[in-house]
Amino acid sequence: MATVTGVREEIVPVGGGRLDMRVQVRGSGPPVVFLHPAGGFAWDPFLETLSEQRTVYAPLVPGVSPADPDAIDEVRDLFELVLYEQEALSALGLEGADLIGASFGGMLACELQATFPGMFGKLVLFSPIGLWRDDAPVTNWMMTAPEDFPALLFADPAGEAARAMLTLPDDPAARADAIAAATWAMGCTAKFVWPVPDRGLDRRIHRITAPTLVIWGRDDALISSVYAQEFGRRIKGARVELLDGCGHALHIEREQETLALVRAFLA
Amino acid sequence: MKVAMFQQAPYRFLPADFEQHYAACVTPRYRELADTPGITATIHGMLDELLLGARSGFDGVVLTEHAQAAYDITPNPSLPGAVLANTLRTEDIDAALILLGRSLGKTREPLKIAEEYAMLDVLSGGRLVAGFPVGLSYDANINQGIPGVDTRGRFREGYELLRRAWAADEPFAFNGRYAQYAHVNIWPRPVQEPHPPLWFPGSGNPATMASVLDEDAAFVLLTWLGVKVGGQGIFDRFWEMCEEKGKEVNPYRVAVVQVCAVAETDERAEREYGPWLERGFHHGLGSIPHHFFLQPGYVPLRGLQGMLRATGDPGIGARLHEATFAELAEAGCVIVGSPATVRERLEAVCRDMKVGNLLAMLHMGEMPHELAEKSIRMFAEEVLPHVQGMWDREGYEHRWWPTGIPETAGAVA
């Protein structure tokens, strides 16, 4: 993926100076917060385009930044992560900002909204994890062999979107670092969802008061689209949109449709 | 040199072409592959072979912990360990019980390990070697559900708790990050003074080796690749670090696993054991997918970058699923042959790497019980007496071997 220009990083001390939250920022216009999925953060085409009209703030889960991998040791559990995220967003003056969360980030966005009802703006969820049905278990992505990842994330694993996201650098060292970074990011985020991505959100999700849009790919192989309705009926007034021919990484695979839905909803 | 018998409990009746039909030996369905006669023969065979080894003059018996896997059905080595411990005591066999061991990175009950080890030390009459593996990634992270990033932190904290629990005169409260106990006052305590020998299995990570030396514990290279292949570069580094830290270079500081098999002649040994050893590698470590060893978070980012950036030939270790017996023998992963051949090769590699504790693995995979017994007997009779004296002339003191119950141990006044 080509390097995206105009990105800056805010370093925000949280937890009484215990650790720094790193927040990537790009664009102009009203702020929107993007909470990244389990595999880490990248300025993908969706976010790049979104940042043309909005200022996108992307807080990284501690440890996910290769500049400070040990930061994950300073976060004990999901509750602390939620507090640190809120502290960082508040410090950046982002109370009232809309939240978009993808997959793991979707769960985190729900936790923020449920813990601090009314503090943030609208809520957009891209195939979030966080709920559990025994009859539709979330695929164990940690046990998935690397070669099976494309089919886990995309309805069309051979498609252009999948290739653009998953193609690794040619340079062997850069390639090694990219795999290491994604693996470590999954390790950091797993701390809050492993081994079963159910940390009791079901018992708090009713506290969410924000207008909510839930988007899901009908062909999601990681977490079945039956969960779209699970989120939809638990969050009062939530709107649910299902995308045809679309897998888990929906804002990559259906970038334009997702952008249109998000822009209209946040307008 | 101390020579102990290293034993795992692979399911002994996997189909010959197992690796062609199953992606991994750490996930196959039990009821599809195992049955009652098979599992009974597997577990009983493992114990009977260890007992034979202990009764035949081996200096110790060694067990490991692996859950939910076909290649080592020992979810808790303290259980067979207890059987062995009692036998050592009742038959007055002067052999060590070496557990490599209960995993503090995997467990959610660290205090239970402190108690189990203490119990085994009592049961065996002070013959326990307490091993402290971090735990393999698939076992700690997948089987036990420990987040990868917590594995090492849990290990360190659990070890600290265990040492305090063994040593403390007064009950104490333990406010750990992963474990909290309001009242730690375990019964029994180990009977060896001040504690059983501490052995730390590892795969050669420099940070691990440094902490082993700092702790003045023994380092165990826990590998199937053998002294020569597995130890390449690692023991050199270990002895360098030992000198840098001003510690005595003493072969008894290290232990390593070596697959061996003995028959009347080289030709016969190859014919009788070769096919079983080859299958054992294919169906065992050769059938564990790479990513099961490296669950996200288990290896810190910098270490992972180093591993992935490493160029060059990964060697036979990356081909265990298809390596032939000839290749395994040529590389030195297995030392197989007549007693003279096995003696000579063992002495050469152990002297070269300064190994003071050899853990001989004499059964693998689906090798039949009778054949394993033959190898154990021949090794005990014709190899052991020759290699046991290997370091005697140098006069090293073995400070990492169990002492039995100290004669000075008395009653509470």
pLDDT value of residue B412: 75
Chain A, residues 157-176, CB within 8 A of chain B, namely 172-173, 175-176
Question: Could you count the other beta carbons within 10 Å of the beta carbon of residue A151?
Answer: 16
Query: Residues 6 or more apart from B407 whose CB is under 8 A from it?
Result: none
Q: Is A3 exposed, middle or buried (0-12, 13-18, 19+ CB in 10 A)?
A: exposed
| Phi, psi angles (nearest 5°) of residue B356 | -105, -15
Of B293, B301, B302, which to mutate for an interface test with A (greatest number of A Cβ within 10 Å)? B301
CA distance A152 to chain B (A): 16
For residue B298, the chain A residues in CB contact (below 8 A) are 187
Of A194, A196, A198, A199, which to mutate for an interface test with B (greatest number of B Cβ within 10 Å)? A194
| CB-nearest partner of B142 from A76, A143, A173 | A143
Chain A, residues 110-139, CB within 8 A of chain B, namely none
- Residue A228 and residue A133 in contact, taking contact as beta carbons nearer than 8 Å: no
| CB-nearest partner of B296 from A175, A177, A184 | A184
Query: Residues 6 or more apart from A12 whose CB is under 8 A from it?
Result: A20, A21, A22, A23, A87, A88, A91, A92
Q: How many degrees, rounded to 5, is the angle at CA B366 between CA B360 and CA B370?
A: 70
Q: Give me B402's structure tokens.
A: 């169990």
pLDDT value of residue A22: 98
Contact A184 B177 (CB under 8 A): no
| pLDDT single digits (tens) B208-221 | 899 999 999 999 99
| CA atoms of A265 and A244, how far apart (whole Å) | 19
| CB-nearest partner of A179 from B153, B308, B311 | B308
pLDDT tens across the length of chain A (267 residues): 457 899 999 999 999 999 999 999 999 999 999 999 999 999 999 999 999 999 999 999 999 999 999 999 999 999 999 999 999 999 999 999 999 999 999 999 999 999 999 999 999 999 999 999 999 999 999 889 889 999 999 999 999 999 998 899 999 999 999 999 999 999 999 999 999 999 999 999 999 999 999 999 999 999 999 999 999 999 999 999 999 999 999 999 999 999 999 999 999
Contact A176 B305 (CB under 8 A): yes
- ipTM score for this prediction: 0.94
Chain A, residues 64-93, CB within 8 A of chain B, namely 66, 69-70, 72-73, 76
- Residue B316 and residue B327 in contact, taking contact as beta carbons nearer than 8 Å: yes
For the four alpha carbons of B157, B253, B73 and A144, in that order, the dihedral sign comes to positive
Q: Give me A238's structure tokens.
A: 């939530």
| CB-nearest partner of B291 from A69, A145, A176 | A145
For residue B305, the chain A residues in CB contact (below 8 A) are 176-177, 180
| CB-nearest partner of A76 from B177, B300, B304 | B177
Q: How many residues does chain A have?
A: 267
CA distance B107 to chain A (A): 15
CA distance A175 to chain B (A): 8
pLDDT value of residue B311: 78
| CB-nearest partner of B305 from A73, A76, A180 | A180
| CB-nearest partner of A66 from B142, B177, B301 | B301
Of A141, A168, A184, which to mutate for an interface test with B (greatest number of B Cβ within 10 Å)? A184
| CB-nearest partner of B149 from A72, A172, A179 | A72
- Residue B255 and residue B401 in contact, taking contact as beta carbons nearer than 8 Å: no
| CB-nearest partner of A184 from B153, B304, B311 | B304
CA distance A68 to chain B (A): 10
| CA atoms of A42 and A168, how far apart (whole Å) | 13
Question: Could you count the other beta carbons within 10 Å of the beta carbon of residue B265?
Answer: 13
| Residue in chain A lying closest to B300 (CA) | A184
| Residue in chain B lying closest to A65 (CA) | B301
Write the single-letter amino acid at A8.
R
Contact A180 B177 (CB under 8 A): no
Contact A191 B150 (CB under 8 A): yes
Asked if A186 has any chain B CB less than 8 Å from its own CB, the reply is yes
pLDDT value of residue B2: 98
Q: Give me A68's structure tokens.
A: 């400070």
pLDDT value of residue B413: 59
Q: Give me A7's structure tokens.
A: 């990105």
CA distance B24 to chain A (A): 12
CA distance A144 to chain B (A): 8
CA distance B177 to chain A (A): 8
| CB-nearest partner of B296 from A70, A73, A186 | A186
Of B152, B154, B305, B307, which to mutate for an interface test with A (greatest number of A Cβ within 10 Å)? B305
Interface of B to A at Cβ within 8 Å reads 141-142, 145, 147-150, 153, 177, 289, 291-292, 294-298, 300-302, 304-305, 308-309, 311
pLDDT value of residue A2: 53
For residue A176, the chain B residues in CB contact (below 8 A) are 305, 308-309
- From the first residue on, what is the mean pLDDT of each consecutive set of 10 residues in chain B (413 residues)? 98 92 86 97 98 98 96 96 97 97 97 98 97 96 96 97 98 98 98 97 89 96 94 94 97 98 98 98 92 94 91 86 96 98 98 97 98 98 97 97 88 70
pLDDT value of residue A97: 98
| Residue in chain B lying closest to A69 (CA) | B301
